Amino acid sequence: MATNKDKVNEAKTEAGEQPEEKPKKAPVRKTAKKDAAQKTDPLDIGVNVRPPEKTCTDRLCPFHGTLPVRGQMLEGEIVSDKMQMTVVVKREYMRKNRKYERLEKRTSKYLVHSPPCFEAKMGDHVKIMECRPLSKQVSFVIIEKFNKE
């Protein structure tokens, strides 16, 4: 199916003239990564927490990267920081035993992504929040670090 422009170009080439060239589109530049890396002020993640004072270039940081957070928000203590960018957070909670009508203390351990801007170490108390799965076992990220009370 030939358009009018194609017919005009064919006529010009038969007459020995130069056919009209289609205007070239300017290349689209993707600057989102550069803009995200150049931003120094932390993003608002939609949760009332203090953002970290330091900045980082981790793309999996909810404040300086592109990782959205959703779902559960938990508190706990870091019991291991031997992995790269991942820590183990231990959470203690009380659960009611229906048979004996008493409360029992239980613990859970979570593997949590630790952005470098928090500088989380063993013994720190942190607030973690659920995010998309980052690996087989990591589905939480640190959103706040606070002092022991």
Query: Measured between alpha carbons, how far is 28 from 53 in angstroms, rounded to an integer?
Result: 34
Domain ranges of the chain: 4-146
| pLDDT tens column, 17-41 | 665 666 666 666 555 555 544 556 7
If we measure between CA atoms, which residue out of 95, 92, 149, 142 comes closest to residue 121? 142
Kindly report whether the global pTM for this prediction surpasses the value 0.85: no
Sign of the four-CA dihedral 127, 130, 133, 136: positive
> Which residue shows structure tokens 């927490």?
49
The larger pLDDT score, comparing residue 9 to residue 144, is at 144
Residue 125, pLDDT score: 96
| pLDDT tens column, 59-109 | 999 999 999 999 999 999 999 999 999 999 999 999 999 999 999 999 999
Query: Measured between alpha carbons, how far is 137 from 146 in angstroms, rounded to an integer?
Result: 24
Give the helix/strand (H/E) hosting 48: none
Q: Does domain 4-146 have CATH number 3.20.20.450?
A: no
